[in-house]
Homo-oligomer: A and B are copies of this chain.
Amino acid sequence: MMVRRRKNLTLREIAELAGTSKSTVSRVLTNHSSVSPETRARVQKVIEERGYQPNFFARGLAGGPTGLVAVLVPEINSGFYAEVLRGMDDVASKNMAHLLTSIAHGADDLFDLWRSFCREGRADGVVVVAPPRAFFRKGIRKLELPAVLCAARPPEGAQRWQAVDSVTVDNEKGFTALLHHLVQIGCRSFIHVAGPQDVFDGQERRNAFEKFMEAHVNLSGQVIEAGFNPEDGLHAAESYLERSDVVPDAFVCFNDSTAYGVLESLRRRKLEAGRDVMVTGCDDEPAAQSLGLTSLRMPMREMGRECSRLLLERIRVRNREIPPRNIVFGLELQIRSSSLGHRRNRW
């Protein structure tokens, strides 16, 4: 029969049951070395039996680890951060950690959140998801808390941030593979529907596009600025198509969402994606498959998992130095009907 109880046990009670003192129980809890194997085993047995979980307010107050991991996300594609959160929770929950989620409105808000978490020490560590460049400009005197960047790397100038871990994707490799594929099926003229340029992925993808175009003089490439929503893609495509007399061979979009907008714009002009013009996205959201949209798979959940792993490791070793790490995931090309057609080469 289960032991039922209204309240959690306390350290004191565990100590009594194990015939030792609070201090010792605390030491086994915090993995302190100086506990004899026998006492440790005895205490651990009681802890297991009674399903004891330390009160995290008391822990936090006394200066111990709190089991809280803060996640700061800006207002981005909700499908993206939802998956990152899920990945983070996957490994956090296995390590008795909980996610403290905050959604920022703009770079300033994001920075305020960051600072308040650092000052107050509410969490053991922080993951910042896809921060805009402006986030790094504000000086942070010192990194008081273990931190990991998700889908971003600290920019060159940001001295203080260089020591931070990051989890990113290889945008250049991914976009290069994608462009090669498009060239292979006959595309020669490209429009890159660029994402926000103050965000890491937006910038890297554009760079990859431009680099590819520079390296292939027989191709023509142009960049039009959009954003990250379908509406942004729609507006960008509309205004481009309105003032242009030729349709490019391919629209290479920053992400799936902007590609949706481009598809809409094409539909209005009775142009068929995959036949009259190729269209590609990035992220590989669930809907991309239904739309037959060629895309690059962004391993969001895996990225979230990795963020938690890196952060928890740093938390576990406390202040001991770990050199900064950058984990890079690949973007897997998913070819679908929106880039399957064989358009005749007009060049």
Contact = CB atoms under 8 A, between A and B. Distances in A.
B93 A86 contact: no
Nearest to A113: B93
Contacts of A222: none
A143 to B, nearest CB: 13
Interface in A68-111: 68, 71, 75, 78-79, 81-83, 85-86, 89-90, 93, 98-103
A120 B89 contact: no
Report the copy number of this chain in the oligomer.
2
Interface in A36-67: 53, 55-61, 66
A257 interface: yes
A124 interface: no
A100 B102 contact: no
A285 B291 CA distance: 13
Contact of A102 (B57, B66, B98, B120): B98
Contacts of A154: none
Nearest to A120: B8
Contact of A99 (B8, B100, B267): B100
A287 interface: yes
A53 B102 contact: no
Interface string A114-152: 001001101000000000000000000000000000000
A257 B286 CA distance: 8
A66 B82 CA distance: 25
A11 to B, nearest CB: 13
A24 interface: no
Contact of A60 (B57, B79, B83): B57
Nearest to A119: B8
Contacts of A101: 71, 85, 89, 98-101
Contact of A286 (B8, B122, B230): B230
Interface stretch (A159-167, A238-246, A258-266, A316-324): A258-266
A286 B82 contact: no
A175 to B, nearest CB: 22
A290 interface: yes
A291 B289 contact: no
B103 A100 contact: no
A230 B292 CA distance: 13
Most B Cβ at <10 Å: residue of A71, A85, A90, A103: A103
A229 interface: yes
Interface string A224-261: 00000110000000000000000000000000110011
Nearest to A53: B120
A70 to B, nearest CB: 9
Contacts of A71: 101
A286 B285 CA distance: 11
A346 interface: no
Most B Cβ at <10 Å: residue of A55, A98, A122, A290: A290
B78 A122 contact: no
Given A57-B59, A78-B82, A99-B102, 20 more contacts: A8-B120, A53-B116, A56-B120, A57-B57, A57-B60, A57-B61, A58-B61, A61-B61, A78-B86, A79-B82, A81-B82, A85-B103, A89-B101, A90-B103, A98-B102, A100-B101, A257-B286, A260-B290, A264-B289, A291-B291
6 contacts: A8-B119, A55-B61, A56-B57, A78-B86, A263-B290, A287-B291
